[in-house]
Structures are given as C-alpha cells and as structure tokens.
Amino acid sequence: MIQLNLKYIVDGETAGRAVKSILKTKLNLSERLIKKLKNEHKILCNNVPVYVNKPTSVGDLIEVLIDFVEECDDIIPEDIEIDILHEDDSLIIINKAPHIVVHPTFGHPSGTIANAIMFHLLEKGICKKVRPVSRLDRDTSGIIIFAKNQFVQEMLIRQMKSKTFIKEYLGIVQGVVQPLQGTIDLPIERKPGSIMLRHVAPTGAPSVTHYEVVEHYQDASYLKFSLETGRTHQIRVHCQAIGHPLIGDTLYSPSGSVFIGRQALHSQSVAFYHPFTSEKMVFTAPIPDDMQNLLKILKT
C-alpha cells in the first residue's frame, strides 16, 4: 500500500505563511485541487481540518488526504481484456493493443480502454474517475498511463512539461533515413478544414522529435523516437514532413501497406518519478506481433 497522504512540518522558513501557500509551494498542489480538498475537509493542521488562509507556526503538521471518495465518471464499465503492466494505489499502466480507442468520444462512445479500466476498478470495489495522463491514437500500440486521483495526474503532467517524464516510441518508416540520428524541429497545427489532420506550418505550436535509426532495410528504416513535445499526431506528421512517412499510415501516406493494417508505431517505454514515493519508475512494452511480422518481411 502506498501512503496517499501528503505531509509537511512547518519550519522557521515557512512559519507565518498561510496554509494555502505551503500547499502550493511545498506540496505542489494546484489551485483547482486545493479547492476540491478544502470542500472535502481533507486539509489538516495538527490533525484538525483547517481553513487554507490560517497562518502557520513552527512545528505545525500540515497534512493533505489525497485519496478521498469521488463520484465515478459516467463511463460505462465494459469487460474488455487489457494488458496491465503495473498497478498500485496511484496509477495503472497499460500496454494498449492497436485498433482500440483510449477514451470515449462522440464517434467511439464505448469499447475503449477507459471503459475497460472502469470495469476493472469496479470489480475491485473501487469507484474512481478515469484519468488518462497521456493518449495514444487508436491504431498506435503500447504504453499508456491512467492516474487514480487528480494529484497524480497533475504531477505526471508537470513532469512531462519539465522533461523528467520520458517517452520513447518505435516506428517503421518508408525509405532509408539519413543521418542515423537527428532532431525534427518543425511546428505543427491543425490542418485548415480538417478535424483530424495536422500539418507542419510556421504558425503551428513548437514540436520537437528526436530520432535514432535502429536498423536500415532496402527501402525502409526502423527508428526509435523520443519526444520533447506531445502534439497530436506529432511523430506521424514529422515523419511525413521529412519524406519518410510511417509504413501503414493511410492518414498521412495514401499508399498504405499490404503488410500491416495500421501505422507502424509503438509506444515502447516510459520513465518518470512516482508522485508519492519519488521512486524512478521505468516500464517497457514488447513490440507487438504485427510490427514484428513487418520487420521479418523487410529483412527478407
């Protein structure tokens, strides 16, 4: 069991500050979460619920009870098989299969990873909102993380912004990529007139993808990607922009592929620090069968 309470003992430096100031600067809580915790009476000073504008004194124990009861999402629980790589009191890490949506949308109201997780939690008697920390496209496989409370979600997103949350992908692209490693630094924005498509444009948001060639084939390359930014379709758009679209990506390369029924892209690994224990967490997901088969074909 991971302790889901946050604690801070007021010292000479912080004495006199309001509880709210300590929550924000020492316990890294957002304004939104502080408001929710205050309404739930989960902010304590010396074991007693307290107003957040109360000034503190040396030796005061400020405690926050993160794991409080909340209403479940309106996501319908569905008994869908999922590959859970890791689960604790704070998060669930999934190895997502291709061809499944992460979270319900207008076009996919059910049959998603979130529906499966809701079923999994309720089977264990746990009522939680389903909080994706990051998302993958429907046909991209690999690691995706869900937080079990708002604090964990916010802390992991903060790590992404500070570049301490590392994501690596594997992809198979058309053509022989040169040089063997490099950086694609091209801004991305939504393509005018399209809900789904993105493209490189000077007015787009900064987008940076690092790549390294794992192996070359006759007319294809097996690449490892790491992201500095997380724009929608970033790897797919950047690969198209440099003339090496992902094999099977019919959205950004009309030719498609008879050897794989999706874009050949896999979220292989993540590394981050656990929001409660500060332990470095590293997880990998094996490359799926369809991409392994594609690599075998390319080697022949």
* Residues forming the active site: 137
Strand 265-273 with 141-147, pairing? parallel
How many C-beta atoms surround the C-beta of residue 34 within 10 A?
18
Q: How far apart are CA 28 and CA 64, in angstroms?
A: 11
- Nearest C-alpha neighbor of 123 from the set 87, 98, 95: 87
Bridge-partner residues for 87, per DSSP?
A: 92
H-only helix segments in 74-222: 113-123, 150-161
Q: How far apart are CA 167 and CA 268, in angstroms?
A: 8
Q: 273 to each of 43, 53, 131, 156, 277, how far by Cα in Å?
A: 24, 31, 18, 8, 8
Q: Are 90 and 133 in contact (CB under 8 A)?
A: no
Which residues lie closer than 8 Å to 280 by C-beta, 6 or more apart? 271, 272, 273, 274
